[in-house]
Structure 1
């Protein structure tokens, strides 16, 4: 049975992604900053007949928490086939480049960029034990420098999300370098935008969470001849999914 770990999976897109992977026969570990919420998510999934799931406490901003989560994971499995870095924050208001505080930048990067790097640096040991390891870094088209600087882009107005956009652009660059570093291995590593989705993150505005999760799951399940080091947003580009950095 394949094993997947999803950060921030106690609700929203992460929770739905866990559900869809469970339905495909995975054993899923739900990473949750607050363990009680992770346990509650597990109870909901089990009530739906999806039993191959467990919750692990994980605060991606805390190195000790990441290490503890890894040690707990190692007690339950010798390999990890899929890692989905879903945990993220929008940085809070004010959202503009000049008005946002330095603390906003620090906190947002600590979760959206440094948190991903922390988890991968530790969890890669178990990923290396998989014959076809996959990493999906959940990103956003708002992190595309090309799209964000184009006045003709429909979401150009979201340039005001300076802190969040900057953090996701940095995450995208990290994804490029990680994929390059592991280019001669079985790893496939991609950045995926789930699209503007109706969750707490967006004040429950946008598309359906099921579709957002399907976009993530698709790249978690790519075959060995599939892409790596790419940026996908099927909401922005329905034909190929590929979008510019």
Structure 2
């Protein structure tokens, strides 16, 4: 097995995902840039390589079983193992997400990417993670997935817009993460959720107040945890996010 650590970052052609790839690459990691769009993926890899990162493209649509299997095969052939998986790919869906009027297909589409996509990719590369000495899984969640932050003493909404597809998809992801923690207990695979904060990306029309580089910091920290680091947590820059 090569001494070089290898990571896969999904949705890594832009925004937070790109900065996670850049941050891990700056630490000497080899980073697979997972993305659907070939041109954007190739451009991201070229930019990362231009900055000295050992980056390589991974064609990957997290909603497509065959694409995910092909990505796992590519990683197996290139590295033979995987030290960190960062499940960053995500979508908001259309913005008209009032629960009384939402198109159910919007919810299905968002969940397929934000939740089922994480399960697809994680399960496909799990054999590669098991071959690494200190494997890590990081699921990119959001503060809007925190039930505590979404409700106050009277049950009023306190964080973010009403988004019956996107916000609950992150709550669902948090719950799924804990199930992986339970199953993988004792294996050495540390599994955590990261909240990037309100980052200016095209996901929110660049309304965020944080840079993608700032949003990537927690995920990079969780992907590089020591063996005695936490598992089953929900973290942001300031510390722990309440469930």
With the length of structure 2 as denominator, give the TM-score of the two structures: 0.94
CA deviations on 1:21-70 (whole Å, 9 max, x unpaired) are 000000000000112211110111122232x1100110000001101111
Q: Which residue of the partner structure matches residue 144 of structure 2?
A: 142
Unpaired segments of 5 or more residues in structure 1? none
Distance 1:70 1:102 in 2: 31
Runs of 4+ in 1 over 3 A off after TM superposition: 151-155
**Cα 1:201/1:171, change in 2 over 3 Å:** same
Q: Which residue of 1 aligns with 2:191?
A: 189
Q: Is the 8 A contact 1:93 1:100 kept in 2?
A: no
Residue 125 of structure 2 is aligned to residue 127 of structure 1: no
Stretch moving more, 39-48 or 115-124 = 39-48
Report the secondary structure of 1:56's partner residue.
Answer: strand
Alpha-carbon shift at residue 159 of structure 1 (Å): 5.0
For structure 2, which runs of at least 5 residues remain unmatched after alignment?
Answer: none
Q: Tell me the residue number matched to 2:241.
A: 243
User: Secondary structure of the residue that 2:165 maps to in structure 1?
Assistant: helix
Supply the distance in 1 between the matched residues of 2:144 and 2:154 (Cα, whole angstroms): 14
Who is 1:31 aligned against? 34
| Root-mean-square deviation over aligned CA pairs | 1.6
SS at match of 1:185: coil
The SS at the match of 1:190 is: strand
1:73 aligned to 2:75? yes
Q: Quick check: 152-161 or 127-136, which moved more?
A: 152-161
Matched, 1:42 2:45: yes
Which of 218, 222, 229 is residue 221 of structure 2 equivalent to? 218
Q: How many residue pairs were aligned?
A: 239
